[in-house]
Amino acid sequence: MGTELTFCRMPLDRASTLRKNQQWLDEKLNANDSRFYFYWRGKYLYLDEKIFVFNREGSIDKLLNVLNTSEFNKIITENALTFLGTDNNVAIFVCDLSLMHDVDLKKWLEKLDLINMKFIDFRNSLSLLNQQQGAILSYAKALIHWQRSANFCGSCGGKTKAMDGGHRMVCTNDSCQKEHFPRTDPVVIMLVEYQPKSGPAVCLLAEHHRIPDKVFSTLAGFVDPGESLQEAVIREVYEEAGVDVASVSFIDSQPWPFPNSLMIGFFAQAQGMDLCLEEEELRSASWFTAQQLLDFNEWGDEGDAPKLPRKESISRLLIDLWCEKQLSVTADVIGK
């Protein structure tokens, strides 16, 4: 697949070897050309609806004459920094301000004295980002979430400290010193299809309790320990919908920073259409033809009409690919 999914196509060199060198990291932290994003509780800093990137040269946003550089240096020094990688040897960092109280954050923004500078929720700002920016910021968000969850050692409960630019947490308890590394949770997500003996193929979409009413999405679930991806697809489809799956084919994958998953997409061939729903997971589920899905509204549209998942999700990619395939087949049949 050509990976055009949101959060894919990371442009940075992660510099996994160099980030272990503290001297090199310190030099990059103080370099004039190093770039810094600013994060606060799930939001990033924007200026005039554009993601804000600071460097001490002022070359990124050409604002050196109005930026309070000393104020930025102070905030960078006093808050947690995570090294993200390099872009043509220029170091990229994210500064996590999440420990700042709302009032203190507001005062800091007022000191900067820049109109239209504000923090915007990452999920709600995706339309303001290009493909590469989305990949970088999702990476940063996932790392910060993991760091927050690893502030204390899972083995002894001791305090941990960040190493390798925030990519490793080490227990400070001398009798433990356990190392902790970022975790990614694998999730299978699958479009289940069925081909009746006559008539068009249909796919299974469901209303999940965790998303708004009238949004129909694909099935999904976490991979269990000791389970292959294909086995997880078969199990999840049966557990959630009572449908037996005959075959599974991989389509694409997508990092998903809400909070730290890897979505692994499949098409799954159902052996029948009878449904037995797991009501704790699903409000409803139905089989739809590609033609029916063309009449669905978009996520966020008003009204009671059925809606498709968000365009940035792999669930939407699976649905769109399936519809494209089915409508192409229909067109070929009509053409003959």
Longest CA–CA separation in the chain, Å: 75
How confident is residue 57, by pLDDT bands cut at 50, 70 and 90?
confident
Q: Cα(88)–Cα(244) distance, rounded to whole angstroms?
A: 50
Q: Cα(162)–Cα(154) distance, rounded to whole angstroms?
A: 15
How confident is residue 139, by pLDDT bands cut at 50, 70 and 90?
very high
- Both tokens of residue 326? 């089915």
How confident is residue 113, by pLDDT bands cut at 50, 70 and 90?
confident
**In this model, does residue 65 exceed pLDDT 50?**
no
Rounded (5°) CA angle 203-243-308: 30
34 in Cβ contact with 88 (< 8 Å):
no
Q: Give the helix/strand (H/E) hosting 180.
A: strand 179-180
Q: Cα(189)–Cα(187) distance, rounded to whole angstroms?
A: 6
Q: Cα(36)–Cα(44) distance, rounded to whole angstroms?
A: 11
Determine the pLDDT at residue 114.
Answer: 77
Which ranges of 193-313 would DSSP assign to H, the alpha helix? Answer: 229-241, 290-293
Domain 185-335 class, CATH top level: alpha beta
* Beta-bridge mates of residue 270: 245
**What are the residue boundaries of the structural domains of the chain, listed by start?**
18-148, 150-182, 185-335
How much is the mean pLDDT over the chain?
A: 92
Tell me the per-residue pLDDT of 244-263, one tens digit each, with 9 for 90 and over: 999 999 999 999 999 999 99
Determine the pLDDT at residue 67.
Answer: 59
Edge-to-edge order in the sheet of strand 179-180:
160-163, 168-171, 179-180
Average pLDDT over residues 196-207: 96
Q: Cα(1)–Cα(199) distance, rounded to whole angstroms?
A: 29
Q: Cα(7)–Cα(126) distance, rounded to whole angstroms?
A: 10
The angle that helices 102-112 and 69-78 make with each other, rounded to 10 degrees, is 150
**In this model, does residue 331 exceed pLDDT 90?**
no
**In this model, does residue 317 exceed pLDDT 60?**
yes
How many angstroms from the chain centroid is the CA of residue 222?
A: 15
Determine the pLDDT at residue 336.
Answer: 43
**In this model, does residue 135 exceed pLDDT 90?**
yes
Lowest mean pLDDT of 62-66, 94-98, 147-151, 214-218, name the range: 62-66
Tell me the per-residue pLDDT of 84-103, one tens digit each, with 9 for 90 and over: 999 999 999 999 999 999 99
Determine the pLDDT at residue 116.
Answer: 87
Closest by Cα among 93, 88, 91 to 140: 93
Determine the pLDDT at residue 73.
Answer: 87
Determine the pLDDT at residue 333.
Answer: 46
- Both tokens of residue 191? 């479009």
105 in Cβ contact with 97 (< 8 Å):
yes
